[in-house]
């Protein structure tokens, strides 16, 4: 069972806004480790989408944003587009396991 918990799927219509949550077991994660987000398009390798809570790498549209509040993080996508359909993963480092951990992944369906 993943200790970074994400909903299995979310859906939204083209142009709408959706959010994806990621909740971590606070006892497992050091406060110095941020949550990062990755996007995996169909048939492709994952790509870094958001890092250290709310920062976007070069080339990632501003439609993608994220925030952190306590043990939870949230990825928001506005102005949904068909090619946003993908799997989205959160990631952090578990200081108890001494291991990098990914959430179970959330499949975004664009209606």
Partner 1 sequence: EVQLVESGGGFVQPGRSLRLSCVGSGFTFENFAMHWVRQAPGQGLEWVSGLSWDSGGVGYANSVKGRFSISRDNAKRSLHLQMNNLTIEDTALYYCVQASKLGMASSGATFDNWGQGTLVTVSS
Binding site for partner 1 (CB under 8 A): 2, 30, 32-34, 36, 38, 40, 45-48, 51-52, 57, 87, 89, 91, 93, 97-105
30 or 79: whose CB is closer to partner 1? 30
The least distance separating partner 1 from the CB of residue 109, rounded to whole angstroms, comes to: 16
SS3 state of residue 84? helix
The least distance separating partner 1 from the CB of residue 92, rounded to whole angstroms, comes to: 10
The least distance separating partner 1 from the CB of residue 40, rounded to whole angstroms, comes to: 8
SS3 state of residue 82? helix
Residue 82 dihedral angles phi and psi, to the nearest 5°: -55, -35
Name the token pair of 104: 């179970």
Supply the DSSP symbol for 33. Answer: P
């Amino acid at each position: 069972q993943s200790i970074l918990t994400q909903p299995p799927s979310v859906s939204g219509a083209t142009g709408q806004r959706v959010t994806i949550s990621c909740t971590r077991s606070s006892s497992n994660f050091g406060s110095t480790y941020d949550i990062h987000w990755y996007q995996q398009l169909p048939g492709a390798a994952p790509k870094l989408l958001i890092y250290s809570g709310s920062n976007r790498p070069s080339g990632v549209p501003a439609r993608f944003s994220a925030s952190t509040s306590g043990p939870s993080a949230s990825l928001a996508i506005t102005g949904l587009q068909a090619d946003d359909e993908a799997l989205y993963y959160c990631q952090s480092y578990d200081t108890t396991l001494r291991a990098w951990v990914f959430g179970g992944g959330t499949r975004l369906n664009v209606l």
